[in-house]
Amino acid sequence: MIFRILLYGVLVIFLIGLVYRFRSIARKSRFFERDKEPWAKKIFNFTATGFLFNTLFQIKLFKAGKLRWLVHGLVISGFSYLLVVHALDDVTSMMFSWYQPGIGPFRFLRNLAGVGVGLGCILFLVRRMNRARNIRETGDKGGLFKGTVSIFLILSLVGSGFLLEALRIISEPRFDEMVEEYSGLDEAGGLNELRAYWARNYHLVLKEAIPFASADFETGKALNQEYCLDCHERPDPAFVSSFLAGGITPIGNWLARFRVDLFLYWFHYGAGLLLLAFLPFSRMFHLVAVPVTSAWKKSTHVNLKKQMGLLEIFSLTACTNCGFCSQVCAVYPNFQITGNREILPHVKIDVVKTMAGKGLWDARAVARLRSGNDDCTRCGRCGDICPSGIDLVRLWTAADHLMESLGFPDNCTQALGTSFDIWTQPFPLPQVPGTGSSPGLADRVAAFEHCVQCTICTNACPVVAHDLNQNDLGPHQIMNLLRLGRKQMAAGSRMVWHCLTCYACQELCPQGIRVADILLELRAQGHRTAEQIKVSQLTNQGSDK
Amino acid sequence: MRVAYFPGCKIDFVLGDYGSAVETVMAQLGVSLVRLPFSCCGNPSRGKNLEVSVFSAIKNLALAAKYGLDIMTPCKCCFGQLKQGVYWYETRKDLRDNINRILAQEGLFYTPPSRDPGSHSPVIRHLLSFLLHDIGITRLKEKIIRPWEPVKTALQQGCHALRPYGVTGFDNPFAPKMFKALVEITGLRVIDWSKETSCCGNPIAEDHKELSLKILRHKVEDAAREGAAYICTACTHCQIQYQGAEALHILAKNKISAVSYPFILGTCLGIPLGKMGG
């Protein structure tokens, strides 16, 4: 009865968790007005083969890493066996009348599955530890315990299961209970003979040892055959538990007297329920999310623009933080130089998830995300390798869109939308990672002092030629601004941000000035300024509230 | 012949047919393309962080050097950036020291050609210069079995390979000849037009779409006035610019189609269209 109540309680928590998880993305983040594609269309745009193969066999994980596929397979195959045959045996034994948890083959399989799950989880932890060490070298603060709660829960579930079985094997009070329930034997009926037989063959540990020599094993064997053997074969096929039982035999009596097996039973049951209740809130949620993301067709560059508003919960929660994406990321070198971890896909997706729920909760974090997401070249390699089948390119486009709708534009929009008063005032904020600086051409007078304002560069410039009404300055005027010492002002001009980098100006300059290189350098400075302005504006907004 | 194939970031996701055309043509010519775990060339970061862009380029070169291979890319922006990377690496000592330090952590090592003439520093080739210098125009001519009709064709040269000549050393930046020679052997008639060496507009397609399309429209109209039926490209970004949704309307209106050079060459070599379709 109490089991049922607990189970239903946990199921309610599980359902509430699911609802909470689905609601965790703020309404605003789910859709955008522009180019929005209806849900229905997206849902029916699915691929059955992707769903089947990736959910059942994890083919994408197999392609990405064979060893990790093996370990992952060990855990899920073992766990599914235990879940169906062992945890839900009330249900499954109705279908299979020949199922008995105490007979040899099932004891063996249960132990085998337990070993698979336990070993797999330990390997998971070892890998995490290794990666935590590696990432720490590159400046990660995230520790080992981030996202490993579920692994520890599973480990304690498996461990307590083994211990429980071992204790039940040796426990005399448990033996007495069973005898009373199923046979009603007493001392006169041969209880002692049965005890002696079990002590010899079933690893039972007795409070008062019976001298084997005097025991009548034939009677014991007959009684065992009559009452016990249908459900209880020798426990040796349970290779882990009987090994453990052998190990704890010396303290067996003491443990049995305190009924530690009952405690372990509750612990085992509780760990299972906790795992279920915790599932919607933990990384384990990928159990639910991965089948969904695998079923959706990946976007192509053609329909990417139509779907760019779509940021849904499954893609964000299917991530298991495995890190394959960052290994193949084309802009990994950007991270190596700038140290901005939000360039790496497996970090970025976590930040996007937080932002989808909380909006622009932290100016610095959002600035790093924006910078990292702008560095992304949309090469699609992360989405190709993702074992969870997440359509990552769509996610990055959606994240850009979300930031724009929340009022955090890209640097070009920010730079051209800022008045020169604000643009040219010095910003005391420390530099945002993602934009380095060292003295360049625009800081060296010798690089531009020979400009004679001949306007050849401006006449050659396709931006000037095509954008007469909107463009503010020509390249020769930028050079003049530099000579006037107004580098910051030059960095905010339309010319700098709309330069095509076609190098026509530089190639034609009769004075040999590296005009295009200087424009690019000014744009780099503009990127830094724009980011600082965005961060300071956001911080001020926050303090106003 | 083996060469490290540097497709760049855009081909696999956006322009698959361009990539498969390059691959089938190379297979037909007996060149085996080696795919190394290259990263971005660094061109997109050029205007944001010089050090990032130089490091990205040098890291790719160091990777090719590790395998003792030359690099061939079908993208002019990638080609230009790899060259720019070498230039800035040689010019700026502060960048060089930091880059060498990070490369060494990964067991990579790079020596620029100027410092060590006999070194294993990889040669950077664009698809066109690879065809011209490593395959040779006479060998190409022998292989052509299905030449095209002499239809008027306008060339889109692609800026980043041409300019700055001092850095890229690709072709004459004002009167380029290589592309023309390679297109003429296919039977097409190359026209002279005023906007041959000017920009296609792709670099600002995201930041200022209107201007980008205006540049493209002027180019296409200009080519149409000269009577061209095709615009031939040899750069991933140029081809992307001509294949965009709006660009297709502009091209259709002017009765011009944009075809990539590997596709034209592939048909001349007798490769079935389906194989190059991507």
A462/B160 Cβ within 8 A: no
User: What is d(CA A376, CA B9) in angstroms, rounded to the nearest whole number?
Assistant: 10
Segments in A461-514 forming alpha helices (H): 462-466, 475-483, 487-491, 494-498, 504-508
Nearest CB to B208; choose among A434, A436, A498: A498
* Distance from the A382 Cα atom to the nearest Cα atom in chain B, whole angstroms: 11
Three-state secondary structure string covering A56-113: HCCHHHHHHCHHHHHHHHHHHHHHHHHHHHHHCHHHHHHHCCCCCCCCHHHHHHHHHH
What is the token pair recorded at B37?
A: 């775990």
The answer to which of A237-241, A439-443, B80-84, B197-201 has the lowest mean pLDDT is: A439-443
Q: Is B13 on the interface with A (CB under 8 A)?
A: yes
Domains of chain B, by residue range, sit at 2-128, 135-276
User: What is d(CA B235, CA B157) in angstroms, rounded to the nearest whole number?
Assistant: 8
> What residues of chain A lie within 8 A of the CB of B208, using their CB?
467, 498
Q: Write out the residue limits of the CATH 1.10.1060.10 domain(s) in chain A.
A: 432-544
Task: Check if the beta carbon of residue A333 is closer than 8 Å to that of residue B42.
Answer: yes
Angstrom CA distances, B123 to A8, B24, B73, stand at 69, 22, 11
**If we measure between CA atoms, which residue out of A500, A524, A521, A518 comes closest to residue B160?**
A500
Query: pLDDT for A100-153, tens place per residue?
Result: 888 888 999 999 999 999 999 999 888 888 776 665 444 444 545 566 788 899
- With tokens 């294993």, the residue in question is B120
Q: Is B214 on the interface with A (CB under 8 A)?
A: yes
Task: Check if the beta carbon of residue B267 is closer than 8 Å to that of residue B273.
Answer: yes
B51/A524 Cβ within 8 A: no
More confident residue, A70 or A426: A70
The answer to which of A327-341, A416-430, B60-74 has the lowest mean pLDDT is: A416-430
User: What is d(CA B241, CA B235) in angstroms, rounded to the nearest whole number?
Assistant: 10
**If we measure between CA atoms, which residue out of A242, A266, A262, A77 comes closest to residue A162?**
A242
User: What is d(CA B205, CA B185) in angstroms, rounded to the nearest whole number?
Assistant: 33
* Distance from the B216 Cα atom to the nearest Cα atom in chain A, whole angstroms: 10
For the domain covering A432-544, report its CATH number: 1.10.1060.10
**pLDDT, position A435:** 43
Kindly state the average pLDDT of the residues A352-377.
90
Query: Which positions ≥6 away from A460 have C-beta within 8 Å?
Result: A504, A505, A508
Within 115-154 of B, beta carbons closer than 8 Å to A belong to none
**pLDDT, position A1:** 76
More confident residue, A301 or A499: A499
* Distance from the A362 Cα atom to the nearest Cα atom in chain B, whole angstroms: 23
User: What is d(CA A16, CA A112) in angstroms, rounded to the nearest whole number?
Assistant: 34
The answer to which of A301-310, B145-154, B189-198 has the lowest mean pLDDT is: A301-310
User: What is d(CA B71, CA A206) in angstroms, rounded to the nearest whole number?
Assistant: 77
- With tokens 């003439």, the residue in question is B117
User: What is d(CA B262, CA A63) in angstroms, rounded to the nearest whole number?
Assistant: 31
**pLDDT, position A135:** 56
Indicate if the pLDDT at residue A447 is higher than 50: yes
The answer to which of A433-447, A488-502, B112-126, B195-209 has the lowest mean pLDDT is: A433-447
Q: Sorting pLDDT into bands at 50, 70 and 90, what band is A40?
A: very low
Kindly state the average pLDDT of the residues B218-223.
96
Q: Sorting pLDDT into bands at 50, 70 and 90, what band is A206?
A: confident
* Distance from the B265 Cα atom to the nearest Cα atom in chain A, whole angstroms: 26
More confident residue, A362 or A187: A362
Longest dimension (CA), chain A: 121
For the domain covering B2-128, report its CATH number: 1.20.1050.140
Indicate the burial class of A174 (C-beta count within 10 angstroms; 0-12, 13-18, 19 or more): middle
**pLDDT, position B90:** 92
A462/B198 Cβ within 8 A: yes
Nearest CB to B52; choose among A338, A374, A379: A338
- Counted across chains A and B, CB pairs separated by less than 8 A come out at 141
The answer to which of A430-439, A447-456, B239-248, B258-267 has the lowest mean pLDDT is: A430-439
User: What is d(CA B6, CA B39) in angstroms, rounded to the nearest whole number?
Assistant: 9
The answer to which of A203-217, A283-297, A398-412, A432-446 has the lowest mean pLDDT is: A432-446
Burial A67-82 (b: 16+ CB within 10 A, else e): ebbebbbbbbebbebb
Mutation test of the interface with chain A: which of B96, B163, B172, B174, choosing the one with the most A Cβ atoms within 10 A?
A: B163
Query: pLDDT for A384-401, tens place per residue?
Result: 999 999 989 989 988 988
* Distance from the B160 Cα atom to the nearest Cα atom in chain A, whole angstroms: 6
Kindly state the average pLDDT of the residues A507-514.
95
B207/A412 Cβ within 8 A: yes
**pLDDT, position B117:** 66
Q: Sorting pLDDT into bands at 50, 70 and 90, what band is B114?
A: confident
Closest Cα in chain B to A521 = B47
> What residues of chain B lie within 8 A of the CB of A412, using their CB?
207
| ipTM score | 0.95
Backbone angle region of B235, left / alpha / beta, with phi > 0 → left and psi within -120 to 50 → alpha: beta
* Distance from the A27 Cα atom to the nearest Cα atom in chain B, whole angstroms: 27
Indicate if the pLDDT at residue B51 is higher than 90: yes
> What residues of chain A lie within 8 A of the CB of B161, using their CB?
none
Task: Check if the beta carbon of residue B158 is closer than 8 Å to that of residue B238.
Answer: yes
Range among A59-63, A312-316, B94-98, B124-128 with highest mean pLDDT value: B124-128
Please name the amino acid found at residue A307. Q
User: What is d(CA B238, CA B199) in angstroms, rounded to the nearest whole number?
Assistant: 9
Indicate the burial class of B92 (C-beta count within 10 angstroms; 0-12, 13-18, 19 or more): middle
**pLDDT, position A215:** 64
Three-state secondary structure string covering chain B: CEEEECCCCHHHHCCHHHHHHHHHHHHHCCCEEECCCCCCCCHHHCCCCHHHHHHHHHHHHHHHHHCCCCEEECCHHHHHHHHHHHHHHHHCHHHHHHHHHHHHHCCCCCCCCCCCCCCCCCCEEEHHHHHHHHHCHHHHHHHCCCCCCCCEEEEECCHHHHCCHHHHCCCCCCCCCHHHHHHHCCCCEECCCCCCCCCCCHHHCCCCHHHHHHHHHHHHHHHHHCCCCEEEECCHHHHHHHHCHHHHHHHHHCCCEEEEHHHHHHHHCCCCHHHHCC
> What residues of chain A lie within 8 A of the CB of B211, using their CB?
463, 466-467, 470, 498
Angstrom CA distances, B67 to A314, A333, B36, B120, B122, stand at 41, 19, 9, 10, 10
Nearest CB to B39; choose among A333, A378, A434: A333
Does the domain at B135-276 match CATH 3.40.50.2000? Answer given as: no
Q: For chain A, how many residues are written?
A: 545
Q: Is B244 on the interface with A (CB under 8 A)?
A: no
User: What is d(CA A65, CA A52) in angstroms, rounded to the nearest whole number?
Assistant: 19
